[in-house]
Each structure stands twice: as structure tokens, then as C-alpha cells.
Amino acid sequence: MLSPELVGVSALELPALGSLLLLLCLNTFIAPALVIYYFQKLGIISSLYVDDLAERRLPYLACIIIYALATYLFGWQLEPIGELAPQISIILGSVTVSLALMTVITLFWKVSAHATGIGGAITMLAGLMIRSGEPSIFYPLLVTIVIAGWLLSARLHLNAHTPAQILVGFVCGVFVSSMAVYFFF
């Protein structure tokens, strides 16, 4: 990490930081991926792409629950982390709120979760760079913007979403992340 003090992990030694990153990976990637995989194996969803609007609701709800549990775990149950790095639970909480907002929108209309995620990541990095005055975040921010261009172009190229669905998703991510940075950092 280029600026570990921004998320409160500068005091952690390398083994502890590795354990923290492993826990975050398990809670934010492995657990949701396994749930979606088992939903497909059980026939709850027809495809791992979850293209059908009606099929998206349950996976989103499952991910909201997983992220809410991760937010609670990192914020209140793992006391050393919650005390040293409350920013981690704030970031996880903003992801949870973004997922909840997308789920509400999905009741009526398909929206791009990829756009929401990358919009949130860009805004979180930009907001933290502005709030902290930390210049070392500039290059990761530029890389994230380039990745966003590739990602959103790919979603359009694959006909997975319309430009409006991508725009709404991106705006959702920007809105929630900007509120998190403004009120909690």
C-alpha cells in the first residue's frame, strides 16, 4: 500500500497485514463468489452472468448480507482492526450501501454493478487524495480510471448493459462513495 495511514493500517506488521488482506479477500470476494456459484448449481439462477433482471435480486441480497456481516466484523468484532483501522469498515459499509441502492434499482431496472464498483473506487481514491492531500494516491487513481475505461467499454462491447445502465451504476457508486468520504473521513 502506498498510503497505509489513510486506512489506519500503517501500524500493522507484514504478517498481520497479510492476515487482514486475506480476511478481506475471503469476505469480499471468495464468499460472494461461492454463494453465486452455489445459486447457479442449485438452479436458483440460470447463469453465472445473472443476466435476467428477476434473477439478480437474490444474489444482490446475498451480497448485501455478506458485506454487512463483513462491515460488522471489521468494525466491531475484530477489536484491534476496528480500533486501529475504522476506515476499513467505513469502506465496506459504503459498498454495502451501494449494493443496497443497486438492489432497489434492480427491482425496476437493470443497472451495472461493475460501473457502480469502479465509480465507487475512483471516487474513494480521489476523495481520500483530496481530503488527505496525499499525492502518492495520484498514480493508483490514474490506473483505476484507465481500468474503468476498459471495464465499462467491455460491458458495452459485450452488450451486457446499455450506456444508461452503466451511467446510472457509475453515478450510484460515485454518490455513495463521495458521501462516505465526506461524512466519515
**16: confidence class by pLDDT, cuts 50, 70, 90:** low
Q: Is 162 helix (H, G, I), strand (E, B) or coil?
A: coil
Average pLDDT of the segment spanning 105-131:
94
Look up residue 37 and give its three cell numbers. 456459484
Q: What is the pLDDT of residues 60-115, one digit of tens each?
A: 999 999 999 999 988 888 777 767 778 889 999 999 999 999 999 999 999 999 99
Higher pLDDT, 170 or 184: 170
Can you tell me the distance from the alpha carbon of 81 to that of 58, in angstroms, rounded to the nearest whole number?
30
- Model pLDDT, residue 54: 87
- Model pLDDT, residue 76: 85
**7: confidence class by pLDDT, cuts 50, 70, 90:** low
Residue percentage of the chain with pLDDT more than 70: 91
- Model pLDDT, residue 6: 59
Q: Is 158 helix (H, G, I), strand (E, B) or coil?
A: coil
Answer yes or no: is pLDDT of 139 > 90: yes
- pTM, entire model: 0.88
Alpha helical stretches, state H, 42-158: 53-72, 79-84, 86-106, 113-132, 138-157
Of 126, 1, 113, residue with least CA distance to 60 = 113
- Model pLDDT, residue 8: 57
Answer yes or no: is pLDDT of 163 > 90: yes
- Model pLDDT, residue 129: 92
Of 129, 139, 119, residue with least CA distance to 185 = 129
- Model pLDDT, residue 75: 85
- Model pLDDT, residue 51: 84
Residue percentage of the chain with pLDDT more than 90: 66
- Model pLDDT, residue 181: 93
- Model pLDDT, residue 185: 84
Domain residue ranges in the chain: 13-86, 111-185
